Amino acid sequence: MTLYFRHPACFDHDTGPHPENAARLRAIEAALGDRQWRGLDVQEAPRATVEQLERAHSPRHVREIEEFSQAGGGLLDMDTVVSRGSWEAALRAAGGACEAAERLLAGEARTAFCGLRPPGHHAERAKAMGFCLFNNVAVAAEHALAVGGAERVFILDWDVHHGNGTEAIFRERADVLYASIHEWPLYPGTGPAGFTGEGEGEGYTVNMPVPSGTGEDVFLALLAHVVAPVIRMYEPGLVIVSAGYDAHRSDPLASLRLEADSYRRMAALMAATAAEVEAPLLVCLEGGYDHDALASSVVATLDGIAAPQAPADIPEEPALPFRERLHPRWLA
């Protein structure tokens, strides 16, 4: 049984005609309702505490988001909208991720999915951007390390956009390893293959930028022949996926070529790899802006994590250029 975290407050993050809007969650929940939420243990996401948020964000950033929202909101930048309901929604999005991580690490389940918004992976320690207010996966990773008993956390980001915020928060850390498959060039312009972290975090960032038109064969090769071997060597206590669905061929904001079933196969591979190292798997919603594609891809992801399996005979060739760029510690 997969824990599924939701909250009605996430519909009240009112962004108007913005691509990241409440209709995204309505589409997902309608698709899950058509299946009677089969295989899911549905949970209400709690609020994140200020203490949880400030492990990943500056106190000033947390305070400014709260005050701006309570004053009625507006545009933080050209991409990022805040409304009066955004503060509560953002607390639930980050709090649900923390609760999911804690309950997974307590052994209550092996898999969890957070169907919450606003998304988070572009939010930096002291800056909201790219539709994101708080970095939900970073807050959850910090919570897992602080109180959940995890010694290391592995974050895979398969959103079509590079998670600059997650990378920036952990770029000098070895207790969180961040790996990203993202379209290049594309917003926000970060994530070159040559950047592998800094200081104590050198080698603990794995960037895999792929060109426009990339499809399932490359994603599966990267997961099977780059990501999975690194996870086996890193031995995290928790695996988190920043699950954007804007690499789908129908998405209006990018130009990759995944299908809904691609996400089933990717999720099954990640669930199988996490199980190999005896780590639970947490999947957190990020982007995805074609509502039908988003809903079908989330359903496919849930099917995948419910049936862990590493697909057989995935060709290694598409992954070889990225394996060659890996930090030497992952080539042993």
User: Which tens digit of pLDDT belongs to each residue from 91-132?
Assistant: 999 999 999 999 999 999 999 999 999 999 999 999 999 999
For residue 311, the model assigns a pLDDT of 78
Q: Is the pTM of this model over 0.85?
A: yes
Averaged over 291-310, what is the pLDDT? 97
Q: What is the pLDDT of residue 93?
A: 99
pLDDT at residue 140, rounded to an integer:
98
pLDDT number for residue 51: 98
Q: The domain containing residue 66 runs over which residues?
A: 2-330
Instruction: Report yes or no: 140 and 282 within 8 Å, Cβ to Cβ.
Output: yes
Predicted confidence band of residue 312 (pLDDT cuts 50, 70, 90): confident
Q: How far out from the chain centre does Cα 195 lie?
A: 20
Triad 29, 31, 35: Cα angle to 5° = 105
Longest Cα–Cα distance in the chain: 55
Band (pLDDT 50/70/90 cuts) for residue 145 is very high
Tell me which residue of 94, 33, 3, 29 sits closest to 295, measured CA to CA: 29
The residues that are catalytic are: 122
Q: Would the pLDDT of 64 be above 90?
A: yes
What is residue 176's three-state secondary structure? strand
Report the sign of the C-alpha dihedral through residues 130, 132, 133, 135, in that order: negative
pLDDT beyond 80 at 332: no
Q: What is the pLDDT of residues 271-296, one digit of tens each?
A: 999 999 999 999 999 999 999 999 99
> What is the count of structural domains for the chain?
1
Q: What CATH code is carried by the domain that includes residue 243?
A: 3.40.800.20
Q: Which of 40, 114, 31 is nearest to 306 (CA)?
A: 40
Strands 74-75 and 81-82: antiparallel
Q: In whole angstroms, give the CA distance from residue 292 to residue 103.
A: 31
